[in-house]
A and B are shown apart, each in its own frame.
Chain A
Amino acid sequence: MKYIYRFLCLIGIIATFSCEDYLDVNDSVTNPTNTGLAPQYRIEGAIENTVATAQYRGIREVLGVVQYGSQNTPAYYSESWNTSLTTGSYFLWQNVYVYALPNTADLIYLGEEYNSPHYTAVGKILRAYLFGMATDQYGAIVTYDSYDPERTIELEPEFVSQPEVYELIFTLLDEALSELDMESEISLNAAEGDILYNGDLEQWKRFAYSLRARYLNHLIKKSSGEFAYDPQAVIEAAENGFISNQDNALITYGGGNASNDNQPFSVNGYGSTRFDYFSEFFVELLKDPLNTESEFRDPRLPVIVPEAVNGGYQGVVTGAGVENEEEEGDNYSVGYGGFYTSPDSPTYMMTYSEVKFIEAEARFRNGDVAGAYAAYKTGVEADLEKLNVPSEEISGYLNQIDEEIGQSNFGLSQIFVQKYIANMLNPETWVDFRRMDYNDEIYPGLERPENVNVSLFPGEDDWLEAMMYEYNEEDRNYENMPDNDPATRLTTPLWWDTEE
């Protein structure tokens, strides 16, 4: 019978083709496939989607949670923790899983295919960054069942607990570090796609170590077990991390006509509508960054915060909105136009100063106050330099710190306040807020927003602890998903945020 088929198949078509060749027309001739391009053509998309989609979405609402900015409307959902947050309409999830992670998975695959482990390493560093950002907002997340170019998509992905995610992050970073030491047939910047480090492997390694320091340092509440907090390990990682602002991981914008050439939170950026005004908390903090009696304004205030139309610097109380905005709006500092929110402002993934603040915290917790203080001051200096503050003002600032605080009055609050200012628009700040329990002794002046959703957050000390999983995930994968009831999800501290 088979012979008859084959015979007919052959006479049905022109004899010079075999059936197989004849039918081989399904592949696209106009677009490359996920595994069809060499890795140097994919690295740029992998980095850009990690930062400009995932990280952007990871801060868009969180900037209200950590009170960097305030919206014009009262009781805005991210500031007062009501609808949209309670209904799972918070979309970091899809941006991590659909836009960012698949590009990194492809990069890892292609690095292996093309004998170019440097690309595999970059893919793994970016994945560690993405998994870290996601787990720090959600807790348990999907890791192994996320997109993999070597198999069909997993229809019902399993969730992985946060300690397992942390395990994975450290593994990915370790693997990346060893792969960066291997020989690579294609160099990272072969097609000018390495928009982070232009192919500098040492900088990539320092980035991996810096991330290692960041995630190890999240574990301060763990006193036992595999993940017991080990300040020495944090310090070690930090010492191998960034050594100057040259190492800062950032993507730049040109501020040109194309919308993707603009910083998302700038005037024409696609996120500007989520950052109407600077918050009162942030502006007031910059007016008195060292929490002293004397008048000392942070030189970064006018660099970061635009002046109000009616003069001066005034933030909007988070959650309060601006009533009668047409008249009152001019009294406040609008969100766009400052160092971080101009059309050509970069977006930072991680900076040298953050690494120094991590080191300072670890040293402080390890009892090395002098070392902590030194690292802290280096961190402050680095951030002032990052913001192009004139050097005389920088030395003035450092002197002021020595005078007002000094090693004797130095503590965690000083570190976290400076880290808060330096990590402007970085989702990492929310991790710090929760690690420090939103403590107003750490963050002087921090208050619960106005119009807080009291049905879920009745007590004065109740704060937002995690994000709800997206409703799209809940609709289609509810069997695997941990409890997504807003009453528990939004109010229950994550694993690293619980003492054990």
Chain B
Amino acid sequence: MTKIPPPATLAGFELLVMVAAVRLGADEAHPVSIAADISERTGRIVRRANVYMTLQRLEDKGLLTTALGDARPERGGKPRRLVTPTREGVAAVRATMAAIHAMTRGVKI
């Protein structure tokens, strides 16, 4: 009998990127909006180069997929790279969040 592998866990910034992608939805999640969302909610300065590298890493792990969107005038007629979390990606977010909750429960920080 083959064992089902446990869901992947995410590093800090990976988690933020995945949550932002889930929140923004398939039509609106792309590097610029993800960086803006993280920056707005956490107050930290987000380098877009970091977002690109993290998205690449997550895609390599199979936690999300990307596809080109339509060309847009506000982007000088260039398309967006839209981000969609995979089922494994969503599972990884849940597993990481659960681990954080489990670790922090009852701890006064």
Report whether chain A binds chain B.
no
Listed in ascending order, the chain B residues whose CB lies under 8 Å from chain A are none
Listed in ascending order, the chain A residues whose CB lies under 8 Å from chain B are none
